[in-house]
Amino acid sequence: MKLAVFKELNDQRVSIIPASIPKLLALGVEVLVEKSAGKEAFYDDQEYKEVGAEIVERSFLLSNADVAISIHPLAEKERSLLSSSCLLVAEFQPFNQTDISQKLKETNFQALSLDMIPRTTLAQSMDVLSSMASISGYKAVLEAARLLPRYFPMMITAAGSIRPAKVLVLGAGVAGLQSIATARRLGAMVEAFDTRSAAKEEVKSLGAKFIEIEGATEDTGAGGYAVAQSEDFLKRQREEVQLRASKSDIIITTAQVRGRKAPLLVPTSTVEKMKKGSVIIDLAASTGGNCELTKNNELVNHNGVFIYGDSNLASKMPQDASQLYSTNLLNFIKLFIKEGNLQLDLENEIIKSALITKDAQ
């Protein structure tokens, strides 16, 4: 059986790094890796070869893959070149690309969507969303620190005193928490907000301040994910955010609701209340952004306030990001490849969730 690792076209990461290859080979498969797949993540073709992978051209991959692995799904055109028995593994984002599973089923593909792996304790070692969100959170702070024309930490110096930067984190999921931790490390004062009630304790467990806003809706059946909030609540939240924003130097927003547009938390009016030189990093950019002015993958300067939207910051730290991704994938692959054969156990909770081309659906 041939496992095909594709080079990402618009991403510096690679889905499988050389260190994982021997463990894949041990599963009884062959591993084909596209030429310079890992180059931008600082993994040379040479390294892949040394551990037993075969380096091939993309066309060869397409015509020979039994399992096609990538981070971003292959384009429809390329997909058509694959044998239809090929198993596709990628982040298909069926919640945002609502027609994807339909399309895949039409062409008889079986596809495992990495972003559909449940957020349970057991699945955590395969949970690419967590590892990538963690990097995004970390990177978001670094990006903010780079853009901010000011210091993060407090400094009492002979040339005057610098007060510590204030950071406001909206949405304290994995990315938000990592942002909190990183910003605190750099010496900033951090406040955070989230609608999930568990988030309060989590925020405090990192030593940051939690902003209380009464009346959030919660659905414990949502598998840990947040649900959409009432318009009234969102309004009150925006008011509270505006108040805090005017005192903040940095806002990092990560609020997302599965299958919906990201909630609007920072409208233009709020941005205009902020100090010149302030920075907003919007990690929810790809689903519309938490800030009204966010443009995905663009740096916007609105009256001296920088707004940077990027949902894929992890790709800016490709070496570690690929390493984590690769480990997650390896753990996942072990679930359905056994002794060189594909064994999609539909009883398995994780497979069941990730398989977006089940008949039932």
Partner 1 sequence: MGFSFIINLSYLVGAFSFVWGLRLLSSPDSARRGNIFAGIGMGVAIVATMIMPLVDAANNYAWILGGMAIGGIIGLISARRVQMTSMPQMVSIFNGLGGACAVVLAMAELNNYYAGINEMSLGAVGIALFTLFIGGIAFTGSLLAFAKLEGLVWDSTVTLPKHNIINMILLVVTLTLGIYLFLNDSLTLALVFMALSLVYGFSFVAPIGGADMPVVISLLNSFTGLSAAAAGLIYGNNLMLVGGILVGASGTILTVLMCNAMNRSLFNVLIGGFGGSAAAGKSLDGDQVAKSVNINDAAIQLFYSQSVIIVPGYGLAVAQAQKVCKEVDDLLEANGVDVKYAIHPVAGRMPGHMNVLLAEADVPYPKLLDLEEANAALKSTDVVVVVGANDVVNPSAEDDPASPIYGMPVLKVWDAKTIIVLKRSMRPGYAGIQNPLFFHEKNKMLFGDAKDSLSKLASEIKTL
Q: Just list the catalytic residues.
A: 119, 124, 127, 130, 225
Q: Does 22 bind partner 1 (CB under 8 A)?
A: no
| 11 SS3 class | coil
Q: Does 124 bind a second copy (CB under 8 A)?
A: yes
Amino acid at 355: L
Among residues 124, 141, 155, 153, the alpha carbon closest in space to that of 281 is found at 141
Q: Tell me the site size for a second copy, rule CB under 8 A.
A: 47
- Residue 171 tokens read as 């949405």
State how far the Cα of 59 lies from the Cα of 210, in Å rounded to an integer.
Answer: 52
Q: Does 160 bind a second copy (CB under 8 A)?
A: yes
Please list every residue from 258 through 317 that binds partner 1, using CB under 8 A. none
Alpha helices per DSSP H over 71-197: 76-79, 100-106, 128-147, 174-185
State how far the Cα of 136 lies from the Cα of 174, in Å rounded to an integer.
Answer: 9
- Please state the closest distance from residue 158 (CB atom) to ligand NAP, in A: 7
SS (H, E, C) 177-222: HHHHHHHHHCCCEEEEECCCCHHHHHHHCCCCEECCCCCCCCCHHH
With CB under 8 A as the contact rule, the residue among 16, 148, 279, 307 that binds a second copy is: 148
Question: Among residues 93 and 134, whose Cβ is nearest to a second copy?
Answer: 134
b/e code 101-126 from CB counts within 10 Å (16+ = b): beebbeeebbbbbbbbbbbeeebeeb
The number of beta carbons lying within 10 Å of the beta carbon of residue 130 is: 20
With CB under 8 A as the contact rule, the residue among 33, 112, 169, 206 that binds partner 1 is: 206
Q: Does 124 bind partner 1 (CB under 8 A)?
A: yes
Question: Among residues 156 and 360, whose Cβ is nearest to ligand NAP?
Answer: 156
Q: Does 327 bind a second copy (CB under 8 A)?
A: yes
Q: Which span (9-17, 32-40, 81-89, 117-125) binds ligand NAD, by CB under 6 A?
A: 117-125
- CA torsion angle 171 285 260 212 (round to 10): 20
Using CA atoms, how far residue 93 sits from 38, 111, 115, 129, 356, in Å, is 23, 12, 6, 11, 10
Contact 303, 330 (CB under 8 A): no
The number of beta carbons lying within 10 Å of the beta carbon of residue 98 is: 10
Amino acid at 7: K
Question: Among residues 187 and 259, whose Cβ is nearest to partner 1?
Answer: 187
Q: Tell me the site size for ligand NAD, rule CB under 6 A.
A: 31
Q: Does 306 bind a second copy (CB under 8 A)?
A: no
- Residue 74 tokens read as 């292959």
Residue with the closest Cβ to ligand NAD? 173
- Please state the closest distance from residue 313 (CB atom) to a second copy, in A: 11
Q: Which span (23-31, 50-58, 83-91, 318-326) binds a second copy, by CB under 8 A?
A: 318-326
- The residue ranges that bind ligand NAD (CB under 6 A) are 119-121, 124, 127, 129-130, 133, 170-176, 193-196, 199, 224-226, 229, 237, 254-257, 263, 265
Q: Which chain residues interact with a second copy by CB under 8 A?
A: 12, 41-42, 44, 124-125, 127-128, 130-131, 134-135, 138, 142-143, 145-146, 148-151, 153, 155, 157-160, 162, 182, 185-187, 276-277, 304, 316-321, 323-325, 327-328, 331
**What residues make contact with partner 1 under the rule CB under 8 A?**
120-122, 124-125, 130-131, 134, 137, 153-164, 174, 177-178, 181, 185, 187, 189, 201-202, 204-207, 349
